[in-house]
Amino acid sequence: MSDETKTEDKPAAAEKEWQPRIIAFVCNWCTYAGADLAGTSRMVYEPHVRIIKLPCSGRIDVSFIIKAFEQGADGVMVSGCHPGDCHYTAGNYHARRRFGGFRDLLEFCGFDMRRVVFSWVSAAEGKKWADLVNEAVAKIRELGPFKEYQKLLAEDIWRKEETNSDRETG
Amino acid sequence: MIEQIREKAKELLASGEVKVVIGYENGGLPETTRPVFITSPDEVDRLVWNKYCYANLATFLWRKEVSSLGKPAIVAKGCDVKAIVVLIQESQIKREDVVILGVTCTGVGDPPLSKCPICDVNTPREYDCLFGEEIPPKTDINKFADVDEFEKKSPEERWEFWEEQLSKCVKCYACRQVCPMCYCEICIADKNQPQWIETSSHTRGNYHWNLVRAWHLAGRCVDCLECERVCPVDIPLSLVNRRLAKSVKARFGYEPGYDTEAPPPFTDFKPQDPEEFIK
């Protein structure tokens, strides 16, 4: 929540540049470990990604992606183990089928597919993870906020206030 | 044809082979029909068959109110049989627990529904007894012509189209209630802890509901068009359904409703599945 007592800060807040918000759904065994490696190797990458760890890419329901957009995300990343490397043998194979179909559905409904990034990142690919995040952030910075979806939020009158303050502090 | 159906229904009920015959009777208004559940051989004359028999009766097969009556026989067009096949594939019913009274059909509705000109199951592919002349399946049809046409639009046009369409949704869930594939005892739309899908019918929640509804039918929807028929605000639901059917066919070479033995596509995988979209 923004500090409403400091009214003199308002011009500063208005100048504050918009930054992308990216939600990343990653699997515990590969991509999370890969992101961890990026961190422990002290690689510097864009801080605008919020990582949500799940047991497996097979656990990532399509509703997670929709919910992320609903709550104001500008982009979503989904990442798991490379084919053949799944900790649960086949979770990522099932995920791959699912995301292939769901991606087609989103595209059909007019979503800009540059906002949704699917990838395989292993525990050894800290560099690949950092690059993917940088790439996604650069792309979404170019595209700007996901206005189309956020407009759906704004149309919802009883949430309007909450949404606006969310965006400012986000 | 209807005489033969009535005769067969009478025979099945009288012998006790089935306890209920699910079919069509004349509706309250002219040029309408409604589902009917015949449990006594004396009532079989209520059964009718005409071009107004739109409803996909397969949706009643797994409902407790109907299954509690005992073994059913069902009057089914080719497209309805596709739904029955998917229910068998997904272990919702057993093949031996239903008597399929297949009817050959050249299209229902006046003018015919949009699914009828692209139908390749005028003769049902699975039945116990068949009524009507066998019709050879059409081969030179493009089932996804309107989907292809829609895909030519720009992403902005597509977004605008769906935003307008989905803003109309009143979340009556008629599409779900009529769907033969929506057999979950608790639908995700009814879950409130956590509440995935917002209950009020504003556009944002409507997006979530309609995307999830279409998604949960991916590789399962047999395009019986019932959801679109019952939609009170005329959202073209079959367009998204068929986009996913096209995707499943292109990616996994699978079409639902043709083979009771085939594994449903999202319970299965192949190591060489396409992954052109994954970085």
> What is the interface pTM, i.e. ipTM, of the complex?
0.89
Residue B275 forms contact with A (CB below 8 Å): yes
DSSP letter (8 states) at residue B26 = E
Residue B160 forms contact with A (CB below 8 Å): yes
Long-range contacts of B62-71 (CB under 8 A, 24+ apart): B62/B87, B62/B92, B62/B93, B62/B183, B66/B20, B66/B22, B66/B37, B69/B19, B69/B20, B69/B37, B69/B39, B70/B18, B70/B19, B70/B20, B71/B17, B71/B18, B71/B19, B71/B20, B71/B97, B71/B98, B71/B99
Q: What is the dihedral of CA B4, B5, B7, B13, to 10 degrees?
A: 160
> Chain B closest CA to A129's CA: distance in Å?
11
pLDDT at A133: 95
What is the token pair recorded at A43?
């690689």
Task: Tell me the pLDDT band of A142, cut-offs 50, 70 and 90.
Answer: very high
CA B168/CA B50 separation, integer angstroms? 33
CA A147/CA A170 separation, integer angstroms? 15
* Contact criterion met (CB < 8 Å) for B244 and A104: yes
Residue B196 forms contact with A (CB below 8 Å): yes
User: The whole model's pTM is what?
Assistant: 0.87
Of residues B192, B212, B227, the one with CA closest to residue B113: B227
* CA-based nearest residue in chain B for residue A85: B271
Is pLDDT of B234 > 90? Answer: yes
* Contact criterion met (CB < 8 Å) for A104 and B243: yes
The string of pLDDT tens digits covering residues B73-86 is 999 999 999 999 99
CB pairs under 8 A between A and B: 121
Task: Mention the CATH class of domain A18-169.
Answer: alpha beta
The string of pLDDT tens digits covering residues B10-49 is 999 999 999 999 999 998 898 899 999 999 999 999 999 9
What is the number of residues in chain B? 279
Sorted by where each begins, the domain ranges of chain A are 18-169
